[in-house]
Amino acid sequence: MKNILTAFIFLCSFSAFSQSSTEIYLFDMKIDKGQISVSNGLNITRHKGYDNQPFFHPEKPLIYYTSSNDSTRIDSSDIKIYNYQTGKTTRFTTTSDREYSPTVTPDAQFISCILQRKNGAQDLAKYPIAGGQPKVLISHLKVGYHAWADENRVLMFILDDSIHFSLHFYDLSKDADTVIAENIGRGVNKIPGQNAMSFIQRISDTLSVIKKFDLNNDAVTNIIYTLKGKDLLTWLNNNTILMSDGKKIFSYQANAYEEFKDHKWKPVIIKGNTAMLKGITRLAVNADNTKLAIVVNE
């Protein structure tokens, strides 16, 4: 009964996308002889309410993120863009639906996102970056989170019902849906430089495993246990994973993706004032691994 109740609470938070008050900080990041350090933290949102799910454009100095609870539109959630060269913020969407998890598609022509409808549906859709109306890609599944494998294939966290959630690999060109795993966490990611994805398999309320899904042969292998109770991560270009325990940030070098080769997470050095880094959840890095976005509680 306890496990069922825990799963129910866990899923309800996904369905509502946990509308807590959060901010996004942007740091400079350096990697020197395997040691990662971040510095010059800057609050790029400075907005009372929900600012979360940052995603870097692969080629431009832009961060797309979800922002809600505007003073003029209380019951709203739209996508905004922060330019970290100019320091300017612009709005990408203004709709009656709620947009979550903005993601630049592999062809860099669209921003895909989750459209949360007023009736509770959560569709996968994409907006043209140049402007225009969204195209709904998947509406028959309740999509929580997603990551693109290529232009046609996407890995998705699906809310099956109030106590079941599963990992789906969907080929849009064939309208083919494959269930890869069940009882997963929120972290679904493309592994940079690899024809592979990663996801998190939940073993218990506090224990989860980061797994690799090899797109060449559909094999699923273990990488390492997550930090206790955590299910969000980001990948660097050198096969390194970044995660946070809520207070600090840690890295793990996934050498050749050997299963459980080393169970040790290495602390990331955070320079300067760290008082603002409370309740760290989501992390995101830019393409050349020189910028790190950190989501924290207000």
Architecture (CATH level 2) of domain 2-297:
6 Propeller (2.120)
Q: For the chain, which residues score pLDDT lower than 70? A: 1-19, 69-75, 162-163, 256-263
Q: How high is the pLDDT of residue 161?
A: 74
Instruction: Kindly provide the b/e burial profile for residues 49-61, where b requires at least 16 CB atoms within 10 angstroms of the residue's own CB.
Output: bbbbbbbbbeebe
- Token duo for residue 90: 């612009």
pLDDT for the residue 204: 87
| Collapsed DSSP state (helix, strand, coil) of residue 112 | strand
pLDDT of residue 96: 86
**E-assigned strand segments in 175-262:** 176-182, 189-190, 196-202, 208-214, 220-225, 234-235, 240-244, 249-253
pLDDT of residue 8: 36
| Angle, CA of 182, 185 and 186, to the nearest 5° | 125
- Structure confidence at residue 13 (pLDDT): 42
Segments making up each domain of the chain, as ranges: 2-297
